[in-house]
Structures are given as structure tokens and as C-alpha cells.
Structure 1
Amino acid sequence: MDSDNQLPIGKRLTFRILMTTVLGLALTLAAIGYTLLLSWQLEGGGAAINEAGSLRMRSYRLAMVLEHAQPGTSVEQELQEFNRTLLDLQTGDAKRPLFLPQTAAIREQMKNVQQTWLQHIQVNAKKVAGETDPQLKQIALQNYALDLPEFVKTINQLVSLVEVELAEKTTWLRLCQTSLIFMSLAASVALLYLLYLWIVGPVTRMQAGIARMSKDDLSVRLPIETEDEFGVLAQAFNQMADHVQSVHRTLEVRVVEKTAKLQSQNHEISTLYEIAAFLSGPHAIEELCRGFLHRIMQRMQADGGTVRILDSQKDNVHITVHEGISEKMIEEEHCIKKDDCLCGAATEKGIILVRDFRLLDQQKRYRCQEEGYVSLAVFQIQTRDQVIGSFSLHFSQERIVSGEERRLLEILGKNLGSSIENQRLISKEKEFAVSQERNLLAQGLHDSIAQGLNFLNLQVQMLEDSLKRNDVQEIHDIAPLLRAGIQESYEDVRELLLNFRTRLQDSNLESEMRNVVAKFQRQTGVHGTIEFEGNGAQLPSEQQLQVLFILQEALSNVRKHAQASEVNVIVINDRDFAMTVHDDGLGFDMDTVKQKGEDHVGLRIMQERAERLAAQFSIQSDLAHGTTIALHLKREERLVA
């Protein structure tokens, strides 16, 4: 219970203690200050008595100087010193200190001293000092001597008045010091009494109540005798006792609370079960990620989110699916290094929670903050203790992820990783099954067509023997052409068998394409080059295989028809995927090819494979300038590896 917000300021114990302290301190400081003032006045008055007493000595000394000194010099100096002393007494000097008490009698007497000095003593002294006639000088000196006793008497009266005033102040000083002693004693007694009344007594009663409650006496209640903080504390103690007693009496309430907590836990379990059930379904990887992200955002009430997959070969993180994120941000962050941003760094560092971007280092650039998001939560996607990506949740307002939610999201991240890994394994199994089927097909082709061509090859040899016997001239003309056709068909069958047996190793399209170009160069003697650009994510196995088949068919057409000396292959793997194959061969007329239609089997096969990829396929060829085959797979048609 917050007493500072409920108690009026006049009833607060802290206020009373503060006011008592301030009042005692003010009285003490006032008494000490007044004592210091009296001491200072006594010191200044004592100095004034000394200075006034010195005036008597100076007046007698001046008489001696006037009687024996030479004209002009020391008399003038004595007069100046006398005037300076009178001025000090009149104006005072706070530094020494020196000042006369400012009573009416003292001020009046000081005025008489000044008038006597100015009108008589100083006038006669100047006449003595300035007179050259000895007789007149003697008369002036006699006048000075006659006025001197009266002057000294006025000074004595001044000193007496000052002494009386200082005696009175000394009496007041002693009274103040005595009062300070009694005030200290009274303040100590009052302080002890107030401490007992305000603090010790209530604390003692509180301790007694706590001791009784510790002995299971739940009926104990504290009397509320004051309206200060201890009164509020006693009231809070009584409320606590009521609550404890009520809890002991109403176990049903506790059961209801436990039930509510169990319901919250059941809600988390149902969320986990729902998402786990979805992830276990037969979905593609992109569909898995999209459904997972949508359900997580609903559960966490997030305003945006992404799922990023790690390319372990290039240490890049690619955005697979996103929701509530602008295309501008996706364009900038579709492919980043795993340590470039918070989402990428989570793949290495683990969970990253940002409650408020405004509390982070503002020197760094955060795209999420520029999008208007205030907080962020990033979790790893794991499978078999290996991180394969991360998913992020973006919030437009400050969001605190509780411990239960954090553990739930960690578990779901592992479930998503397992589902992605399962889909990859299923994809590899499908690829392996297709490879087995093609191997069977290749074996069938080998057992039928290849053996038939072998037989024809033997027949051609028999025809050559017939030619040696000069049986038929017409057979002699046909035999070389027949042999050449059979040999070419045989090579086509072997190439077809090789293509059917092609299978990607470890989903590494780049190395397989390099192997195809190198094999083409070895078999044909045609110089071939291949270049790779971009840092996009890898294509899935089924799309990689189709791209590889298109490359093989393009190189096969170059071998059969182009009569080229060089072939260049360029692969650009960014958000879009593109491949071009260019040769410097004979080329062909596009209109003629279109008229042939399906007779040109190689081009039709490449077109069909491009359609399976949902990719754009084009051919450009000029006679004597070579042929260019282009494949363009847009980002929307790319599947997730």
C-alpha cells in the first residue's frame, strides 16, 4: 500500500519528523547566531574602547609635541593620526572588528568629542604649530592646555558609556549560552519521547503481532492508533491477516486459480499441438514456412514476421516467406550474410529479443525500426542441434516475451526445422526414385535399341564384304552412308543413357554443371567456359535437375549441328535464376525451324523442361553468327530448397 499517495502530507510521519527536525535546527541556529552576534559586538566594542582610550594618550602626546617640536612636521602627523582614529570610531571597521554601540547616548557623546576636537583642540594645536612669534605661540599653547582637561573628560565619558553597554551585552551572552544548554537537554528528552511515541511503540506492537501470526494465530489484529505510515502499515497487516485467514478458509478459490493457470498452460499446449500437427502434414517447404509463420503471428499478435533459411555453403540467410513486411525491405534483405543483421545474427548467437529499438545504438541502421516496428523477437530454426535458419516476429508496440512464450517459440522453431529437414529428405527420396526409374529405362534402351544398332553394324560389315566380292554396285554406294547413320544413332543412344543416369551429388548444381561442360569439352574438342554470378539461394533438387538436363541437351545440339569452336555458359543466381548458352557455330534460320515443328526434337525437349520449371525459354540464332539459348526462372516460380 502506497502511503505517499494516500496520506495527506500533514499526517505523514516523515513530514512530522522533518518539521520537528527543521524547527529544532532553526531554534538552535537562531540561538547560536545571536550568540555569535553578541560576541562580535563585544569584540568590536572592546576595540572601540581601546581606540577611544588611545585618544587621551594622543592628546597629551600632542601637547608635548607642540611644546618641543619644530614647526610644521610631527604636529601635522599627530593631527592626521588623531583624525584617523576619530574617523574609525565614527564609521567603524568590520574587518577588525571595530565599532561603537549605536545607542543614542553614545552617538551624542561621540558627537561632543568630535566638536570639542574640531572647535578647540585642533584649532589651538594648529595655531601653536603655525605661529612664529614666541609670545603668541606661548599664549596658544596655554589655551590648548586649558581646553585639554575638558576634552579628556568627554573622552572618558564616551569610554564609560561604551563599557556600560558592553557589560549589558555580556550579560545577554551568558544568558544565551545558558539557554542553549537547557535547550539541548530539553530537545534530547523531547526527541527520545517522540521516537518512542512515533516509532518504537508502533514497531513493538508490529513485532508482537508478527510473532503471534508466526504461531498460527490468524485472528491477531493490530490496533490502528495513528493515521501516519505506521497506521497504514497496521491496516495493511490487518488486511494481510484477513487474506491469509480467508485463503485458509476458501480452498475452492485456490483451486479455481490453479485451474485458470492450467487452462493457460493448456492453451500453450494446444498451440504447440496445432502447429506440430500442421508441420507434420505433406506440405512443401515454402507452404510449411508460410503456415507456420501465420499461426505464430496469430498466437503472439505480431504485426509482421519472416522466415529465413540459411545457405550453409555461402553463409547467407535468405527470406523464404514473409508477412506484414514491405517489398522494399524484402528487396534489401532477401539475401544477407548471417552476421549482417539481427535476424541473421540469431542463427549464430541464438535468441535475440529487442524490447525497444529506441534503446539500442542509434548509430547503427535497423531496417525493422525504419519500417515502424518498435520491438523484435528472433528465434533459431534447428534440426538435430544444427541451425538451418531463423524466424522473426515484428511488433509495432513494445512487446515483452514472457518466459513461457520464449520456451514455446524455441520448441516450435525446432519443430519447424525438423519438418523442413523431413521435406528435404522426402525430396531426395523422390529424386532417388526417379533416378532409379531412369536407370531402368536406360537399361531397357540399352538392351533393345543399342543391341539392334550393333546388329546393323554387323550387317554393314557384311555388306562391305559383299563389296569386296563386287556383288552389287548400288550396295557399294549405300554402305558408307548406312554405317555413318548407324554410328551416329549409337552415339545418340549412349548420350541419352548418360543423361538418364545423371543425378545431383549433395545438391551442388554448380559443380555438376562444371562437370558437364568439362566432359563436353573432352568429348568434342570444342572449348567451353562456364561462369557463375550472384549469391542467391540454391534451387531445390527437382529444379536443379531440370536445369542440368536443359544444359546437357543444349550442348548435345551444339555437338550435333553447330560445328562450333567455342561455347560460353553464363549462370546468374540472384533473386531470379538465369542461364544462357552461346556458341559461335553455323547457326540456323528460325523460320525454317518453326516450319519443321516437332521434327526438331532437341529444341522441343528443352522447351518442355522449361515449362516444367515454369521458366521462360528463348532461342536466338543467326546464320554464321551462332546460337544463344536463354532460360529465365522468375523469383515467384522458385521453390524453396
Structure 2
Amino acid sequence: MRKTASLSTKLIRIGVGLLVVALASIGLTLWVTWQLEGGAAAVNEAGRMRMQTWRLSSAVQAELPAQDVAALVSEFDRGLSLLREGDATRPLFVPWDQDVRQRFTEVERLWSGQRTAWLDGHMSEGNSSQVAAEAFVNAIDRLVLAIELQLSGLTATLNLFQFVMMALAIIGAVVMLYTGYMYVIHPLDYLRQGLRRLESGDFSARVDVDTQDEFGQVAAGFNHMAQTLQSLYGGLEAKVVEKTRRIEAQRARLESLYEVSAFLAKANNIEELARGFSQRVREVMKADAVAVRWSDEANQRYLMLASDCFPSDMQDEERSLLAGACACGNLKPDARTRVIPIHAHDEAPMRHCARAGYENLVSVPVRLQQRLLGEMDLFFRSEVHLSTEETELLDALAAHLASALEGLRAAALEREAAVGEERALLARELHDSIAQSLAFLKIQVQLLRTAIDRAQPAKVQQTLDELDEGLRESISDVRELLVHFRTRTNSEHIEAALQETLQKFQHQTGIPTRLQVDGEGLPLPPDVQVQVLHVVQEALSNVRKHAQASHVSLDVTKGNGWTFVVRDNGRGFDTQVRHGETHVGTKIMRERAERIGASVVVDSHPGQGTSMTLSLPPYPVAMVNVGTVGLNLPESTALPS
């Protein structure tokens, strides 16, 4: 880049040059005009001298007084002096040159020769004044002609200056236009083109910089700006590409995690869950084989739950691994997901992996609430480097596997607990009804034997009647028990189950029933519904056995806390007096109510019927392991589990 003056310096130089030329032209023009004006005044003064010459001649010929002639001579002297010295105030001055000076000298010489004669009156003789005046006037004419010639030259010079000034104006305009184009418009056009390219997204646009003036600095700044934008755009584009790649990878990981989670939620058993999980993990991580191992309670042995693409011979050998015998199944309590190079181990099982062509093993511990449950092993036949995101994905998948397996185990335990609770309920029902009836029948049999031994026919007949009544009661209890345990609830509404219970009661007893449901409330959980139905069924059982009623109603009020009221129009009883079987039924209802945090109130008066009110808390929840609570069976009546 060549060094040049700045744009302001260039413009100042060109402006000063044009100004100097313009001032010089104006100055010369003014000087020529001044000369022309002064010469014109001199011509006028010389012409006045011709008139004064003829006046002087006329005064002499008219023989005017001497003082008048002297005044005219004196005025003539002032005119010559004015021509000789000039008058800057008028302005008046003679454009002197050699010819003008000779003519003026000739006029002065003639005047010097004639002046005395004019004053002495010698010109009055004959026509001497006429001849002298004519000679003097001719001299003045020659002076005027010389001055006019000089003025014509100045006029030509003025015209020349005017043409020169016009040419200078044209040249100045051209120079200014050229300067503006070269130093302003042309660089601006380059900058505008560069800006257009930059606006269109071409960040490689550059402007040639060949000067160091202001536009050169602007162009250099533009190039720097374009370079900065290009680097920023390139970096931003790379960041966008990298961010897009990371987002896509994250989306793929989330999709994989969602797919695996959805599969784990739908799996029905451990074998299906483990096998499907292994397949999906291998596809997600692009592994060559996957094995899922589960630890025993003591973490001494690892059992293979499932595998995918794992060699069959190695499956047989590693179906059960002792802890610490291999890199697989060698997890510490604080172990983390890690990559294990297979070729770096000399243990026999690792040599099996090496013979199978595996080069790296990824060990992922499976934990549930910081408790080590097992591990997931991924085998690769190539180099493996896990990123932080991939490690987090594997840990999340392992956590989902642990939760799913724990869910299956919890479901199995729940089913087992449900079976146990049903058995306990059956045992309680047998204990509270049939077992007591059988005990009563046993006593009646002993009384019958005694009556037969003593030959008491009346007592025998009475005992047989009581045995018959007891057997009928036992048969009814068995039927009622079967009805109880066949009852099914609806997960959303309990009204259908209550209606079905009342219909069965009416069918068995012939007693009309009515169901009334009022209010709005949240649905009851299924386990709470079961306990409510059992309480209602026990209340209906008491009505069947003791009330001698002709009508039974069930009023249900929904709300923040549900209430169930069973009313009959039977004979009633005194709640302050202990009634054997009735008291047992009330105890059973209260125990069932306590399991869901509810309360039972029995209100009855002799001859006025009975009402049983079951009041539920705002958020009833069945207690865990309630099947065996309060179950104290005697050894003689205990049932096998």
C-alpha cells in the first residue's frame, strides 16, 4: 500500500491551488480594469486640454483681460500637472509607455514654448494664436492617440484574462469533479459494493486498500469488520452444527430411554423384561453383546438373567459367576460405570472374551437406592470411549431396569400378600361363624349322647332339634361366606357392588331392600371398597340372623368423607346389654373399619329397629399386612396355610 496524503490534505491542496489561481486572475483583472479606468480619465483630461487650448486662443483673439488669460493658462498648467502626476482618487493616471511618454514630452515642450507668449499677449498678432493652438492641439491629439493605443492593449489583456478565468472555472469544475470521483465517489462505490456483498451473506467480501487516506482507513476498517464477522459466523455456524449434533444425540438418547422405559412398563415377567432390555440396550449402544447379571443377597454370586448376541458356550460357562472371579461380577459397593480393556487381563474368563474377539467391556452397576443389585455388561470388538452423556444414559437405563425389576418383585409380593390376606379373612370368617357353630354342635352332640345314655327321649328330641337348627345355621354361614368372597368391586364406582350385594341379600332372605346414593365425592380405592363391602355384608348378616326385619335400606352419602348407613325395621336390641353373636358381628365390623381408618357406630333400641353407620376419613387408605392383625386362632381350630 503506497503512502499518500490524506483526503483532507488532498482537498485542501486542490482548493488552495484553485483559490490562488482565482485570486491571481481576479487581481490581474482588477489591475487591468484600474488601468483602463485611469487611462480613460487621462484621455478625458487630454480632450479637455484641447478644449482649453481653443478657449485660450479665443480669449486672446477677443482681447480679454490679462487676468482671464492668466487664469486659462493656470488651468492649463494644472491639467498638464494632473496628467503628469495622476490622481489616485478619481482614479486618473496615464498608462505610460515609451510612445505615450514621448508624446507627453512633446506636449510639455510645446506648452513651455507657447506659455510665455500666451501670457505676454504676443499671440494676439495676426493669426499666430490660431497656428499655435492648432499645433498644440495636434500634439495633444497624438498624445490621446498614444494613450488610446495603450488602452486598447489593456482591453485586449482584460479580455484575455476573462477567457482565461472562464477556462480556469471550467478546469476547476472538472478538477473538482475528477477529484470528487477519484477520492470520494469511487472509494464510496467500492465500499457500497462490499456492503452489498456483506448484506447478501458473502462474508469473504473485501475492499482493496491502496491509500492511507480517510477512505483507506475506512476500507481497512471494513475489511477488518468483514473478517471479524466471517470468523464469528464461521464459529457460530460451527457451534450451531455442534449444538444441533448434540441436541440430536440427546434426542436420540431420550427417545431410547423412553422406548426402554415404555417396554419395561409393559413387561409381564422377569425373563421377558431382562431379555427385551438386553436387546434394546445393545441396539442403543451399538454393542456386540450384552449380558445382564443379578447378584444374590450376599453379593457373593452373580446369576445371568438374560443376554443378547452373547456366545452360547460363554453363556453356559458364565451362567453363575463367583464375585471377584472375573472382571464381570466384580463390583465394589461404590463402583461406577467404566470401560475395561479385555486384553489387559490374564484371568481365564477374560481370555474367553478375548477368544470371542471382544476388546473392551463396559461394566454398568445396577443399583436401587444405593443398594447394589447387579450389573449390566456390554461387550465391544472395537475401541470404546464413553462420553458423559452416554455414561448418564447407561446409568439411567440401569436405574430403570432396577426399578422395573423391583416393581415386578413388589407386584409379586403384593399378590402374595393379597392371597395371605384372603386366607386370613377366610380364617377369620370361619373362626367367627362356622367354627363357633361347630363348637356349639359339638356341645349338642355331647348333650345328645348324655341324653341317650340316661334314656331321656324328650331331651334327645330337643337336642336333635337344636342340632338341626345349628346345621342349618352353619349351611347359611357357608353360603354367606361364599357370597362374601365372590364379591368383586369396581375401581371407579362402588354403587354397582353395593347394589349387587343388596340383590343377593334380598334373594336369600326375601326381605325387600333399597339403595339411596347422594352427594359427590372422589372414587374410593379398590382395597377400601373391599373393606366397605365386607362391613356392609356383615351388617346385613346380622339383620338376617337377628333383626326379624321386613325392610332394609342402605343410604350412601358421598363427600369429603363417605358415610354408609344400613337400617332395618326389625326388633332391635339394647346396645348396653352384651349379646353374644351380635356382639361378635359388631366387633368384626369395627376391626374391618379400623383397617381403613374408619369408624362404626351401631344405634338400636328394642322394637325400633337398628342402624349401622360406617364413616370413612377424607382420604381412606387400606393398611399393609392387615390380613393377620388380631387373628388368634386356637390350636384346635387353626387352618393350614
- Name the TM-score class by shorter chain: 0.3 to 0.5
Who wins on radius of gyration, i.e. which is larger?
A: 2
Structure with the larger helix share: 1
